């Protein structure tokens, strides 16, 4: 692929053995290896340091590194397990595994809950729900009137807040999502099931030249 190939070639920061990662995730060893190729492309797309920065993450998700989006920010923050402002390879694979079609539904529900829990209080408040609804509508290029948005938020919150205490805890969230599986629609990326086959399309769409990636 035009990369440097030697026995002593360096790996990107945070690189972990694919065999180890495959035992901790839904991916096979070959899928982890394919993800490493994708990771290198993403981590060299703008800053070229072998780590995925927020701008590179947004570019991968939305083809736009400048676009401000709460949904993208939240996903990035949850991928950035070490809370150091970048995503290394181990974090990338472990977090992405949750989006695998075969990942346990419980993991997807828990991740989605953390996504909506903007202030990390352990529960979801109405204004947090509204902020995420607006972000998801914006990402889908859907523009609804304030009145319609309020109706959506009111209906969703009243259904989810089964205890009627003004907050949605994890147990309430689990019950709500099981009754409304569409809430997990964004939590599954079908192509991850065939990542070794789908990978060439990522390479073809990438704006990074192979010669820019000099790390194995």
Q: What is the pLDDT of residue 10?
A: 76
- Specify the higher pLDDT residue, 205 or 73: 73
- Specify the higher pLDDT residue, 191 or 77: 77
Residue 191 pLDDT level (bands cut at 50, 70, 90) = confident
Q: What is the pLDDT of residue 13?
A: 80
Count CB neighbours of 98 within 10 A: 21
Taking every pair of C-alpha atoms in the chain, what is the biggest distance, in angstroms? Answer: 62
49-105 per-position pLDDT tens digit:
999 999 998 888 766 556 667 888 899 999 999 999 999 999 999 999 999 999 999
Q: What is the pLDDT of residue 194?
A: 79
CA angle 190–82–77, rounded 5-degree value = 50
Task: State the sign of the Cα–Cα–Cα–Cα dihedral 95, 99, 101, 103.
Answer: positive
In the predicted structure, residue 188 carries a pLDDT above the cut 60: yes
Phi, psi of 168 (to 5 degrees): -115, 115
What rounded mean pLDDT belongs to the chain? 85
User: What is the value of pTM for the model shown?
Assistant: 0.81
Q: What is the pLDDT of residue 62?
A: 63
Residue 192 pLDDT level (bands cut at 50, 70, 90) = confident
Nearest Cα neighbor of 57 from 86, 93, 16 is 86
Mean pLDDT throughout 153-167?
Answer: 97
In the predicted structure, residue 31 carries a pLDDT above the cut 60: yes
């Amino acid at each position: 692929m035009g990369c440097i190939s030697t026995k002593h070639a360096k790996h990107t920061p945070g690189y972990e053995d694919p065999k180890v990662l495959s035992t901790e995730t839904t991916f096979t060893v070959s899928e982890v290896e394919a993800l490493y190729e994708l990771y290198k492309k993403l981590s060299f797309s703008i800053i070229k340091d072998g780590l995925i920065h927020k701008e590179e993450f947004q570019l991968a998700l939305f083809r736009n590194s400048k676009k401000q989006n709460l949904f993208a920010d939240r996903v990035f923050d949850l991928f950035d397990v070490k809370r150091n402002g970048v995503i290394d390879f181990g974090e990338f694979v472990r977090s992405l595994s949750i989006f695998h079609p075969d990942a346990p539904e419980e993991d997807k529900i828990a991740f989605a809950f953390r996504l909506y829990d903007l202030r990390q209080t352990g529960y979801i408040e109405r204004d947090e729900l509204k902020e995420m609804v607006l972000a998801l509508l914006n990402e889908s290029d859907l523009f609804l009137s304030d009145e319609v948005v309020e109706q959506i938020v009111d209906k969703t919150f009243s259904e989810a807040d089964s205890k009627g205490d003004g907050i949605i805890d994890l147990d309430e969230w689990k019950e709500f999502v099981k009754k409304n599986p569409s809430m997990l629609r964004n939590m599954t990326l079908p192509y991850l099931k065939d990542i070794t086959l789908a990978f060439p399309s990522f390479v073809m769409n990438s704006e990074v030249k192979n010669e820019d990636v000099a790390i194995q």
